[in-house]
Amino acid sequence: MQIDRYERRWMVLTAVTLAVLFVAVMGSVLGAGIQVPGIDGQVDPRALASTPPFDRPGLRELGPGRYEATIVAFIWAYSPNEIRVPAGSTVTFTLTSRDVVHGFRILDTPVNTMVIPGQVARVTHTFTRPDTYLFVCHEYCGVNHHTMYGRIIVE
Amino acid sequence: MSLAQRRLVSWHLYVAVGALALGASMGPLQALEHMGIDLYRYVPFLASYYQGLSLHGVLNVLVWTTFFISGFLTFVTSATLRRPLYSLRLGWLAWGLMTVGVVMAGWAMLTNQATVLFTSYPPLKGHPAYYFGLTLLVVGTWLVSANLFLTWRQWRREHPTERTPLGAFGALVTFVMWDLASVGLAVESLLMLIPMSLGTVEGTDPVLARAFFWFTGHPIVYFWLLPAYVSWYSMVPKQAGGKLFSDPLARLALLLFIPFSIPVGLHHQFTDPGIAQGWKMVHAALTFVVFFPSAMTAFTLLASLENAGRARGARGWFDWFFRLPWRDPSVAAQLFAMILFALGGISGIINASYNLNLMVHNTAWVPGHFHLTVGSGVTLTFMGISYWLIPYLTGRRLWSPKAALVQAWTWFIGMLIFGRGMHWLGLLGAPRRTMLGAATYAQLRPDWALPSVLVGVGGVILAVSLYLYLVQIVATLFFSREPAQVEVPEAEAVSGPEHAPFWFERWRLWVGAAVGLAALGYVPTLVDLLTRFTPVPGLRVW
C-alpha cells in the first residue's frame, strides 16, 4: 500500500497534535490537580435517613477554612439548598441521591458531578472570591427538573 | 435493481422520514422555549416539555438514523456488488420487526408512559412496551446485517480474488462494528431495563446500567456516521466530478473504527461517581485514537474534492472549492454536512478531554455538539443522499431541485446559529435537557438570554429547512410526473482498490482485535460494578 507524501505528513501531524493535547490534559491532572470524580463509596438509597453522613445533611467545619457539605439530592430539590461559607474556604461536597439520577454543577466553577442513587460522589473546590454561586441539576430527573437548584453564598 | 428490492429499500426510507417528521417537529418548540416562547401548551397531545424532548431524541437519533441506514446500506451493498439481496423475505422480516418496535415505543411515548429521554437512564421507569420496542429495533438491525453478510458471502464465492467494492466494504464495516457494539444495549435492555419495568426485580443498579448503555452509546455515533462516510468516500467524489484520492486509505480509516470505536464509552461517564479515574483516563486516550481515522477522512475528502475542482478547470490554491457543483442539492447538502461535522468534531475533542469535560459535561454544549455531528454531519448527508436515491428508487424526478438547494442552505445557516447558541449557553453553565425558559433559576442568569435567542432563531430556520425537506419528499412521491434518469454514483479512485492489502478483508482479524480491545477497556470496570451491585427501585417521575 502506498501512502502519498502529503497524506503521510498529515497523519504524523494529527498524531502529534493529539499526543500534545493528551499530555496537556495529563499535565492539568497531575500539575493543577483538577480531578474528575472517582470511587468514593456506596450507600443504600432507601436507608439514607439512618446512614451517616446523609442522615444529617448540612455544612460541617473540619478545620480552619475547611468544610464538608453533605447534600442529598431528590426530586426536585437539594437538602440543604443553601450553604454559607467565608471567602477562601475549601469545601468538600459529599453527595448522593435518594431516588433517580441527578446532577450537580456549580456554575462558574469546575465542579461538575453526576449524583447517582447508590453511589457517593465527592468533589472539592476552594471559593476564593465572595459571590453567590448557583448549583443546578443537569440531569433530567422528571417533570420539574428545571426547578431543582440551590446556592452557595461565599461571604 | 429489481422492483421488489427497490420497494424494500423505499419502505425503510419512508419510516425514517416519517419518524423525522414527528421527531424533528419538536425541535423548534424546544428552541423557542429556551428563548422564552412556550408553544408546547398549544400541542394537545403533549403533557410536558420532556415528553416532546423524548419524542425528539428517540425518533431522530434512534429511528430516523436506524431506518435510513438499514435502507441505504442494503441498497449500497446490493448495488455495488451487482447482485440481488440474499433474501428479500429476511429483509422484510427485519423491516417488520423494526417497525413493530417503533410502533410499540412510539405508543408508549405518545401516551406519556415513557418520558425517559433517549438515554432511558434507570431508575426512570418507562412502560415495558417502550423497552421491548427499542429492543426489537436493535434485533431488526442484526437481521439486516445478517442479510448483508450473506449477500457478500455469495459474492465472495464467485469473486474469490477481487477486492470488495468500496461501497459494500463500508456497509460491511458499519455492521460488523454495530453488531459488536450493540451487545451492551442488549444486555442492559434484557437483563436490567425490561425486568425493572415489568417489576420482576426489586430494582437495578443505575451506574452499571449506564456503563452498559454507553458501551453501545458511543459507538452508536459511528453507526450513524459510517454510512455518511460511505457516501462521502465512495459517491461524493463522483458526484462532484472527480476521483477518490486513495481507496486503500479510505478502507483503512473505515476499518479502524471496528477495534477503536467501542472502548471509549466511559468518556460519557467522566463525572460518574463509582467508576475509577484510571479507566476513565484509558478511555480518554482511546477516544483520541478514534479521532485519528476521522482526521484521515478529512484529508482524503479534501484531496478528492480538490481533484474534482481541478477536473472542472480550477487553478491556484483555493479555486477548486468554488468550482465544485454547489448547484447540485445532493452535493451541496453533503458539503455543508462535512463542514458542520468538522466543527462538531472539534467540540467533541473537548468533550473527550478527561477533566476539560468538567466545564461542559451535561451542559447545553453537549446537544450543541451532537446537533453538528449527528444532526448535521449525518442527517444533512442523509438528506443529500435522498435527493438522488429517492428519484432512483421511484423513477420520479426530484420535485424541485431549487427548493432542495434552499433546504441545504437553510440547514447549514440554521445549524451554525443554533450550534453557536448552544455551545455558548453551555460555556455559561446552562444545563442540557432542561426546560430553560421555565427554569426557576434562569432569571438569575441574564447572561443566558442572548445565546438563547440564537438558539431560538437557529431553531426556526431549521424548522423551515425541515419542512422544505418533507414537502420535497412528499411532492416527489405524489406530484412529480417526469421520469428520472439517475445513475448510482460510484467514484473511481486515483489510487485504486488493487493497492489495498488483502488482510483488510480478514474479518476475523478485525473482530478479534475489537473484542480484545473492548474486553481490555471494559471488563475490569464491569466486574467491579457487578461486585458492588446496588439495586435501586424504578420510579415514574413525570
Dump pLDDT digits (tens) for B166-198: 999 999 999 999 999 999 999 999 999 999 999
Query: In this complex, do A110 and B429 lie within 8 Å of one another by their Cβ atoms?
Result: no
Query: In this complex, do A1 and B277 lie within 8 Å of one another by their Cβ atoms?
Result: no
Given the residues B420, B432, B445, B540, select the one marked as catalytic: B432
Contacts of B245 in chain A (CB under 8 A): 4, 7
Non-local CB neighbours of B264 within 8 Å, separated by 6+ positions: B218, B219, B283, B286, B287, B290, B352, B521
Q: Are B123 and A118 in contact (CB under 8 A)?
A: no
Whether B370 is a known active-site residue: answer yes
Per-residue pLDDT tens listing for chain A (155 residues): 889 999 999 999 999 999 999 999 999 999 888 889 999 999 999 999 999 999 999 999 999 999 999 999 999 999 999 999 999 999 999 999 999 999 999 999 999 999 999 999 999 999 999 999 999 999 999 999 999 999 999 99
B427 contacts chain A (CB < 8 A): no
Confidence band, pLDDT 50/70/90 cuts, at residue B412: very high
A49 contacts chain B (CB < 8 A): no
Contacts of A150 in chain B (CB under 8 A): none
Whether B369 is a known active-site residue: answer yes
Distances (CA, A) of B395 to B18, B272, B318: 21, 52, 37
pLDDT at residue B357 in the model:
96
In a 3-state reduction of DSSP, which class is residue B124? strand
Which of A35, A107, A146, A152 should be substituted to probe chain B, the one whose Cβ sees the most B Cβ atoms within 10 Å? A146
pLDDT at residue B481 in the model:
84
Longest dimension (CA), chain A: 68
Chain A residue with Cα closest to B290: A18
DSSP E strand stretches across B250-292: none
Contacts of B210 in chain A (CB under 8 A): 101, 116
Count how many Cα atoms sit within 13 Å of the Cα of residue B100 in the half-sphere of its side chain.
10
Q: How deeply is B384 buried, as exposed, middle or buried, from its count of CB atoms within 10 A (0-12, 13-18, 19+)?
A: buried
What average pLDDT does this structure show over B449-458?
97
Please name the residue that has the C-alpha cell 412529480: B480
Segment B205-257, tens digit of pLDDT: 999 999 999 999 999 999 999 999 999 999 999 999 999 999 999 999 999 99
Segment B301-334, tens digit of pLDDT: 999 999 999 999 999 999 999 999 999 999 999 9
Segment A9-54, tens digit of pLDDT: 999 999 999 999 999 999 999 988 888 999 999 999 999 999 999 9
The minimum CA-CA distance between A54 and chain B, rounded to whole Å, is: 16
Query: In this complex, do B358 and A116 lie within 8 Å of one another by their Cβ atoms?
Result: no
Q: Are B538 and B123 in contact (CB under 8 A)?
A: yes
Query: In this complex, do A15 and B292 lie within 8 Å of one another by their Cβ atoms?
Result: yes
Q: Are A116 and B272 in contact (CB under 8 A)?
A: yes
Percent of chain B with pLDDT over 90: 98
Question: What gap in Å lies between CA A50 and CA A54, rounded to an integer?
Answer: 8
The identity of residue B132, as a single letter, is F
Query: In this complex, do B435 and A3 lie within 8 Å of one another by their Cβ atoms?
Result: no
Given the residues B118, B130, B370, B469, select the one marked as catalytic: B370
